[in-house]
Amino acid sequence: MNDDLRTELALLRDLGFTHLDLTKPLSEAAAVEAGLAGESLELQPNEETLESLGAVASACVRCRLAQSRTQVVFGTGSPTADLMFIGEAPGRDEDLQGEPFVGRAGQLLTDIIKAMRLTRDDVYIANVIKCRPPENRNPEPDELDACRPYIRRQVELIQPKVIVTLGRFALQSLLEKSYSITSIRGQWLEYHGVKVMPTLHPAYLLRTPAAKKDVWSDMKQVMGELGIAF
C-alpha cells in the first residue's frame, strides 16, 4: 500500500467512514461516502489534494454546526507555505464569504503578516473549526473532536516549518492539551516535528490593544525561525 493511499485511508477512518467499495477508485468511494458523488477526490499534486480534502469538508455533517452554517470555511493560502496560522472558528463574515479571517480580526491578522514582510498568499490560514458556531459562541468539545481530523490533515499536506496558533482553542485543539494561552504564549512547542508558536487571537488584540506588543514579540521569534530579517 503506497503512502498516499495509506494516508487517505487513515483520514477516512478518522472522519468516521467504516467501509469503502474497493472495486471503485478510492477517491470515488470516498466521494460516495461523503455525499459528493460526481466530484473527483482523486489524489493529485499537493494543492489538488487540499482541494479534495476541502470538497469532503464542504459536505461534512459530523456535528451540529452543519445545521446552522452558511458554508464551510476550509482554509486559504499557499499549499506549500512555510508558515501556517491556525485560528479557532469562523465568525459571521467568514461564514458568509467562505474564507478565514476576513472581518476586523482578519484585517489585523493581515496587517501582522505584512509586518512580517509576507503576504496572505505566502502563508496558509485555517481554523480548527470549519463551521461558525451560532452567535460566535465557543466551540464545544465534541465539535472540536469532530473537526480535528481536517486541520491535522491540512498540516500533513502543507508540511509547514512553523505553525502559529491564534488563541486558546486553536492551541488546545491541535495539541489536545489544556494550555493557558496567557501563560504559554511566546514559548516554542511542537506538533509532530513542526515548531508551534502560541500567541493571542487577533480578536483579543482588538479588545486589548496593549497586547499587540506581546504578539509582535512572538512574531519576531517566528521570523527568526524562518530566516526573515526584522
Task: Give the model confidence (pLDDT) of 151-199 as tens digits.
Answer: 999 999 999 999 999 999 999 999 999 999 999 999 999 999 999 999 9
Is 181:198 a contact under the CB 8 Å cutoff?
yes
Task: Give the model confidence (pLDDT) of 84-106 as tens digits.
Answer: 999 999 999 999 999 999 999 99
At residue 199's C-alpha, the angle toward residues 109 and 72, to 5°, is 55
Assign 3-class secondary structure to 138-203. Answer: CCCHHHHHHHHHHHHHHHHHHCCCEEEEECHHHHHHHHCCCCCHHHHCCCCEEECCEEEEEECCHH
Higher local confidence (pLDDT), 14 or 208: 208
Q: Is the pLDDT of residue 43 over 50?
A: no
The enclosing H or E element of 126 equals: strand 124-127
Domains delineated in the chain: 3-65 (no CATH), 68-226 (3.40.470.10)
The CB density around residue 84, as the number of other CB atoms within 10 Å, is: 25
From the centroid of its chain, how far is CA 181? 18
pTM for the whole structure: 0.80
